[in-house]
Amino acid sequence: MQTEIEQVLEIWHKHFSDEANQYSELEPSDIEYFTGCMLYNHFAFSKAHHNLKTMDLSYDFLSACGDEYEAIQGRINSIKFEREEEALAFLQNFIERSRSKYTKPELYLLDRLKYHVDTMAERYEKDVAIKHIEFENPLLKK
């Protein structure tokens, strides 16, 4: 599974290294962010909030993906776990490894993904059913 993700990142980074494939506000960390979103969507977590069952990939990213998108989606779909908690741990590990590659200013989207996934992980840890989620600014929690 780790090899699949490494190959996905290699394909995306190679694809987007060509300026002709880049969109106007591409950051290198976007590749890890959108890969994380694809993983999140693939795992279809039952404890995700009803309006966050999927994470939209930006139009800019999707329109710049080219033919690689279907191959990437196939690799993502090949990653399987028996339990959602295992998929969640895999996604959290992916996010942490991805975050270690970039500086703080480059982490905006990855930090958003991390916050959402970590919040969902708390529901798994506490076996909490979703009733209402109070969205908070994570910067204000410090």
DSSP annotation string for the chain: -HHHHHHHHHHHHHHHHSGGG--TT--HHHHHHHHHHHHHHHH--TTS-GGGSS-PPPHHHHHH-TTHHHHHHHHHHT---SSHHHHHHHHHHHHHHHHTTS-GGG-HHHHHHHHHHHHHHHHHHTTPPPS------GGGG-
Parent domain of 124: 2-141
| Region label for 58, one of left (φ > 0), alpha (ψ between -120 and 50) or beta (otherwise) | beta
Query: pTM value?
Result: 0.87
What pLDDT does 134 receive? 63
The CB density around residue 80, as the number of other CB atoms within 10 Å, is 10
pLDDT for the residue numbered 51: 75
Q: How far apart are CA 9 and CA 25, in angstroms?
A: 19
Please count the other Cβ atoms lying within 10 Å of the Cβ belonging to residue 125: 10
pLDDT per residue, tens digit, the chain (142 aa), is 778 899 999 999 999 999 999 998 899 999 999 999 999 999 999 888 777 888 888 999 999 998 889 999 999 999 999 999 999 999 999 999 999 999 999 999 999 999 999 989 998 999 887 766 566 666 666 5
- Name the nearest CA neighbour of 6 among 97, 99, 107: 97
Sign of the four-CA dihedral 101, 107, 109, 113: positive
Which amino acid does the sequence have at 131? K
Domains contained in the chain, number: 1
